[in-house]
Amino acid sequence: MKRILILLGMVLMCGALKAQDVLTVVYATSDDGFLNVRSEPSNKGKILTTLAFRFHDLGDGILIEKGEQWSKVQAHGKTGWVYNKYLGTQTWYTGKGRHRLIAGRDNMPLYGEDYSGENQRPVFGTVPKGTILADDYTEEDGYYILWTIHDNLFIRKKDAIVK
């Protein structure tokens, strides 16, 4: 009994990682390729925006809170709820012990690909300080890069902490 209480205390002190503690990009998996982002976790909630199917192997929004049936997401500058049955996710955190890349400031921007040719990466979304971004990443020209098959996410080195 004493051993169980000690282990339980260690788990509470260390804290288990929750979905919202790790950067998770989200996208639609529905047959029509879209998923409504609603004002409340219900089919009766107002539609704020939509998540699209995984475009170029990169999601369309960021997971804020994982629920049993509904999850809270950020997409296209809106925050709302999506039905989990049609929600796909992608993460770059493997938990295999490599150095963690962590958000170093609140509302830390994540940047997408620059297709304009003007070296102005658009903001994909933002995450709170302390969010684990990845332990599977590369570095180049002042950025940490989270790779996908086609499009990538970029994090300014000055905005992140490596632990």
pLDDT band at 150 (very low <50, low <70, confident <90, very high): confident
Given a cut of 60, whether residue 40 has pLDDT beyond it is yes
Given a cut of 80, whether residue 4 has pLDDT beyond it is no
Share of the chain above pLDDT 90, in %: 61
Lowest mean pLDDT among 29-33, 48-52, 74-78, 96-100: 96-100
How would you classify the pairing of strands 87-91 and 24-28? antiparallel
CA dihedral in degrees (68, 70, 74, 76; nearest 10)?
A: 150
- Per the prediction, the chain carries an average pLDDT of 84
pLDDT at 55: 63
| Amino acid in the structure at residue 109 | P
Domains along the chain?
A: 17-91 (2.30.30.40), 101-162 (2.30.30)
pLDDT at 124: 87
pLDDT at 7: 26
Residue 66 CA, chain-centre distance (Å), reads 11
What lies within 8 Å, CB to CB, of 114 at 6+ separation is 120, 121, 122
Given a cut of 80, whether residue 52 has pLDDT beyond it is yes
Given a cut of 90, whether residue 9 has pLDDT beyond it is no
Name the more confident of 99 and 3.
Answer: 99
Task: Read off the pLDDT of each residue in 50-77 and give the average, rounded to a whole number.
Answer: 88
